[in-house]
Structure 1
Amino acid sequence: MLNEAINILVLDDEKDLTEAIGLFLRDLPNASVIETERPSEAFAVLEKTEIDIAIVDIRLPEMNGLEVLNTIKEKFPKTEVIMISAHGDMDIVVECMRKGAFDYFSKPFMLKSLQGAVERTRKYVEIKKQLAATEIKLKRIHENLDSRFQVQLSGKSKVISEIQSWINRIASFDNQAVLITGETGTGKEVVAAQIHARSERAMNPFLALNCTAVPEQLFESEMFGYRKGAFSGAETDKPGWFELADKGTLFLDEIGDIPLLMQSKLLRAIEEKKIWKLGASAPIDIDVRIIAATNRPLAEMIKKGTFREDLYYRINLFELKLPSLRERKEDIPMLIDEFIAEFAVNLRKKVTSIDPRVYDVLSNYSFPGNIRQLRNLIERAVIISNSDVLNMTHFGHIATEMPQNEETIQSQFSNNLNLLLNEKNLILKALEKSKGNKSKAAALLGITPQSLLRRIEKLKI
């Protein structure tokens, strides 16, 4: 059954015939027909409108049908051409077929001949569109086979174990909307990607859109797409995010930043499972799972009138609240080890261990940027490291932000009587206080600079 909207151009200098063809074709499902009598008029239409099928007479003013065909194939290759031939035109028809015409029918013609030629061509056009859409989806799937689907929400804390359990349960219901909340850098996109990867939609696209990156004036064209000629500069059809994510998952990050007017358009698309492309004459059915995320207090925004309550309930069938890193400090050492292993490989650095004091200091840091900040810190430390051991000199800027007093300093040594480790920690502390100046550090430690250098080399600091 042919249901896709289709644009048909008829070019024939016999006005009565053109009108008769147009009248017949308008009865076809979702068919839009434009009638022209001269090639110049037809080309003007093709410049402004995405034409799927052009029906072209061979004998025309200004130029013949073969020349029109050549121009269409050169300038508008997506348009398929059906030739209208008269008695004695068969040699030209054969040449037209060689040049790329898809079909033809002869004058005088029966309506069945016209209908057959149009339906054959229409099926081909729709198959081409499906193949083009499939190629785009396959490209997206290929792009998605990256680290997002390999990265897990790491941790052994109770709260992370519960979230991992919820990810598995939510993934089994692959049509329901999910709202992921939490501070910036807590791993909201990682969780969204894992829900998608474990669902029945896993072989279809997972598209992540940061809503703050979409200007309000471009919201509809970006979300829903547009048809050629919908506005100045719309030279070709463009699919929107919903269409590209069809049969897959659309992750809307920072949904709380969408302007109020645009929220109503988003709500309509989610509720009706249809989108209207700008300039389109009919809606498009879409099958997309919505996973939204925000670090903003949507409940408070509803009270202030800056976020729609109906949209909130539509996207909030399941809510996953991700904890900050300071709420699961017991996971920090595991995350440190994972990031060191990752960056040591990626950056080709021989980092094999870490000073125990780094674990203590980082585990007591507030991490306002959460996992993202920790990850960046480890990456920077691996980059600047010149040894196989990471120590506090590689995190100096963090150490200066940590509140320190004598009790805190003493506690770092009181529970560990290992002489070498404590010696190493004292040297590191002296280097921190002297901002890396080895002469000053030696003075603080009551030893000569040469002695300090020997100890640094011995302890691989």
Structure 2
Amino acid sequence: MQRILIVDDEANVRKALTTMLRKAGYDTREAANGEEALTMLADYKPQAVLLDLRMPGLDGMETLRRLREHGGEPLPSVIMMTAYGMASDVMEAMKLGAFDYVQKPFDLMEVKQVVAKAVAMQQTARERDEWQEVSQQGYRLGELVGLSPKMQEVYKLVGKVSMSKSTVLIEGESGTGKELIAKAIHSNSPRADHPLITVNCGAIPENLLESELFGYERGAFTGAITRKIGLFELADGGTIFLDEIGEMPLQLQVKLLRVLQERVITRLGGGEPIPVDVRVIAATNRSLPELIKRNQFREDLYYRLNVVPIRVPPLRERKEDIPLLIRHFLAKYQQELGKTVTHLSKQAVDLLLNHDWPGNVRQLEHVIERAVVLAGGAVILPEHIMPALYPDEPGDTAGSVDAADPYEGKTLREILQQVERDVIARTLRKTNGNKLRTAKILGMSRRALLYKIEAYNLQQNVQEGNNTD
């Protein structure tokens, strides 16, 4: 529970603030003057202090000055309270490091909002300090793993942008972890208790994407027998992550631009604008400026999305992170698969370090997962890795007498999924990434194929081809 210290010589003011803040879920203590407040700080360690400016004895300004000089770490966020509101006093308090000030007689709701911001800011500062300490050993933020300077820059941007409402555009190749970046921003933001809704703009058919995002009213079109709440409404108060934003149709880009500008949506078949408080994070593995040149993406929408750009480096640009990633994925699949694999041979590690990783971190994870499945003992050897790195080379597990059984330790369902994934990947390569032809050859709908491509992380097979339908 967050702790708030209330410092004021007027008992009725302390009582009113205490009642309001405790109802809001804070733990509070009271001090009648500056001396009493300073003696309480060490043991109570509040996240924020509401400090009256004018008090007998040690006034608020001197209390703030002593707090900054001798308060220790971490320092609480200080909110000054004043009935006078003199510009000189306010400026002096800000120079001494006060977070904000409220003027008496104050609106209790305004005080509540300022306290919430102060606590959040103080919490974020402490977390950033912890992140910096962790980075000396090997940085990790949620599922993001890395020690390289380029990833450190990404972490810094995540820390800076998390507390804001600004729209973020995450750029990077497939498999670099763009969705993990979005999750990290959301989970470290004031919106963390509200939904994070992910939308893959390339996986939902064009004629369905608008109704998915904005919903529809009953009777809006044939088959609309009930009202549907769209994803923007469901994400109200939280975050919506628009993955592969470059795949969004131009007509829908216009409507998204209106949402970003006016913060309202309109359901299909409806005429009433609906306000939404949603933070938008978008991601793309394509160059949006190039799409703009081809008239495939709106320039005004690009500038609305590109408020805070974050570029996630490909794995080939941060190979010093590969040993950390290997340990992370090895531990993950040891537990998930119930295997006793403990490490990789030096030759196996060298293979991983020297690979270019066109599929980035996602590809590395699949290679480690497969190697853990195939390894018969405690050590992963080169032969457990080579087939996954070079699947079209002679000596693949399907035709090698000496290779370990590729289905060892797998359930029937896992075997069928592996076969299905391999067949889809092989067919995509044969059709040069053409999704429509692949779906026809396999006797499935294009929508079902898109779902399988997403589920099995086969986007790189599509992008390697012409990707034309």
TM-score band, normalised by shorter chain: 0.5 to 0.7
Using structure 2 for the length normalisation, give the TM-score: 0.53
The residue matched to 1:170 in structure 2 has which SS?
helix
Q: 1:264 to 1:281 in 2, by over 3 A?
A: closer
Q: Which residue number in structure 2 is paired with residue 188 of structure 1?
A: 178
Counterpart mapping for 1:46-57 below 5 A: none
Q: Which residue number in structure 2 is paired with residue 338 of structure 1?
A: 328
State which of 225, 246, 249 in structure 2 corresponds to 1:235: 225
Q: 1:437 to 1:225 in 2, by over 3 A?
A: closer
1:285-317, CA deviations, whole angstroms, 9 ceiling, x for partnerless residues?
Answer: 001000000011111111221110100000100
Counterpart mapping for 1:243-392 below 5 A: 243-392=233-382
Q: Which residue number in structure 2 is paired with residue 141 of structure 1?
A: none
**TM-aligned CA deviation for residue 348 of structure 1:** 0.6
State the alpha-carbon separation in 2 of the partners of residues 358 and 333 from structure 1: 11
**TM-aligned CA deviation for residue 436 of structure 1:** 5.5
State the alpha-carbon separation in 2 of the partners of residues 299 and 437 from structure 1: 50
Q: Which runs of 5+ in 1 are unaligned?
A: 1-148, 404-429, 439-461
The answer as to whether partners of 2:370 and 2:388 remain within 8 angstroms in 1 is no
Q: 1:219 to 1:398 in 2, by over 3 A?
A: closer
Aligned residues: 262
State which of 142, 158, 162 in structure 2 corresponds to 1:167: 158
State the alpha-carbon separation in 1 of the partners of residues 154 and 386 from structure 2: 33
State the alpha-carbon separation in 1 of the partners of residues 230 and 183 from structure 2: 20
Amino acid at match of 2:318: R
The answer to whether 1:158 aligns with 2:149 is yes
The answer as to whether partners of 1:153 and 1:164 remain within 8 angstroms in 2 is no
State the alpha-carbon separation in 2 of the partners of residues 399 and 169 from structure 1: 37
Computed over aligned residues only, the root mean square deviation of the Cα atoms, in angstroms, reads 2.4
The answer as to whether partners of 2:387 and 2:396 remain within 8 angstroms in 1 is no
The residue matched to 2:182 in structure 1 has which SS?
helix
**TM-aligned CA deviation for residue 435 of structure 1:** 5.0
State the alpha-carbon separation in 1 of the partners of residues 289 and 216 from structure 2: 33
The residue matched to 1:367 in structure 2 has which SS?
coil
State the alpha-carbon separation in 1 of the partners of residues 355 and 271 from structure 2: 57
**TM-aligned CA deviation for residue 151 of structure 1:** 3.4
State the alpha-carbon separation in 1 of the partners of residues 222 and 167 from structure 2: 35
Q: Which has the larger radius of gyration?
A: 1
The answer as to whether partners of 1:382 and 1:390 remain within 8 angstroms in 2 is yes
Counterpart mapping for 1:77-88 below 5 A: none
**Superposition misfits of 4+ residues, deviation over 3 angstroms:** 398-403, 434-438
State the alpha-carbon separation in 1 of the partners of residues 389 and 241 from structure 2: 37
State the alpha-carbon separation in 1 of the partners of residues 261 and 386 from structure 2: 52
State the alpha-carbon separation in 2 of the partners of residues 313 and 297 from structure 1: 13
State the alpha-carbon separation in 2 of the partners of residues 401 and 279 from structure 1: 50
Q: Which residue number in structure 2 is paired with residue 16 of structure 1?
A: none
The residue matched to 1:362 in structure 2 has which SS?
helix
The residue matched to 2:367 in structure 1 has which SS?
helix
1:130-168, CA deviations, whole angstroms, 9 ceiling, x for partnerless residues?
Answer: xxxxxxxxxxxxxxxxxxx98332111100111111100
Amino acid at match of 1:229: G
State the alpha-carbon separation in 2 of the partners of residues 217 and 244 from structure 1: 20
State the alpha-carbon separation in 2 of the partners of residues 153 and 355 from structure 1: 25
Q: 1:431 to 1:241 in 2, by over 3 A?
A: closer
The answer as to whether partners of 1:212 and 1:254 remain within 8 angstroms in 2 is yes
The answer as to whether partners of 1:153 and 1:160 remain within 8 angstroms in 2 is no
The answer as to whether partners of 2:244 and 2:284 remain within 8 angstroms in 1 is yes
**TM-aligned CA deviation for residue 262 of structure 1:** 1.2
The answer as to whether partners of 2:200 and 2:243 remain within 8 angstroms in 1 is yes
**TM-aligned CA deviation for residue 344 of structure 1:** 0.3
The answer to whether 1:204 aligns with 2:194 is yes
Amino acid at match of 2:235: A
Amino acid at match of 1:166: L
Amino acid at match of 2:184: Q
The answer as to whether partners of 1:431 and 1:437 remain within 8 angstroms in 2 is no
Q: Which runs of 5+ in 2 are unaligned?
A: 1-139, 404-469
The answer as to whether partners of 1:221 and 1:278 remain within 8 angstroms in 2 is yes
The residue matched to 2:310 in structure 1 has which SS?
strand
State the alpha-carbon separation in 2 of the partners of residues 337 and 260 from structure 1: 43
**TM-aligned CA deviation for residue 356 of structure 1:** 1.5
State the alpha-carbon separation in 2 of the partners of residues 284 and 401 from structure 1: 51
State the alpha-carbon separation in 2 of the partners of residues 386 and 278 from structure 1: 56
The answer as to whether partners of 1:185 and 1:373 remain within 8 angstroms in 2 is yes
1:403-446, CA deviations, whole angstroms, 9 ceiling, x for partnerless residues?
Answer: 9xxxxxxxxxxxxxxxxxxxxxxxxxx999x95649xxxxxxxx
The answer to whether 1:224 aligns with 2:214 is yes
The residue matched to 1:339 in structure 2 has which SS?
helix
Q: Which residue number in structure 1 is paired with residue 383 of structure 2?
A: 393
1:211-268, CA deviations, whole angstroms, 9 ceiling, x for partnerless residues?
Answer: 0122222232111001122222112111111011111000000000111111111111
State the alpha-carbon separation in 1 of the partners of residues 178 and 250 from structure 2: 23
The answer as to whether partners of 2:367 and 2:389 remain within 8 angstroms in 1 is no
The answer as to whether partners of 1:344 and 1:351 remain within 8 angstroms in 2 is yes
Identity %: 47
Counterpart mapping for 1:95-174 below 5 A: 151-173=142-164
The answer as to whether partners of 2:232 and 2:278 remain within 8 angstroms in 1 is yes
**TM-aligned CA deviation for residue 398 of structure 1:** 4.9
Amino acid at match of 1:164: Y
Higher alpha-carbon deviation: 351-360 or 158-167 = 351-360
State the alpha-carbon separation in 2 of the partners of residues 368 and 391 from structure 1: 22
State the alpha-carbon separation in 2 of the partners of residues 154 and 234 from structure 1: 45
Higher alpha-carbon deviation: 308-317 or 223-232 = 223-232
The residue matched to 1:213 in structure 2 has which SS?
coil
Q: 1:366 to 1:330 in 2, by over 3 A?
A: same
**TM-aligned CA deviation for residue 279 of structure 1:** 2.2
The answer as to whether partners of 2:237 and 2:277 remain within 8 angstroms in 1 is yes
The residue matched to 2:145 in structure 1 has which SS?
coil
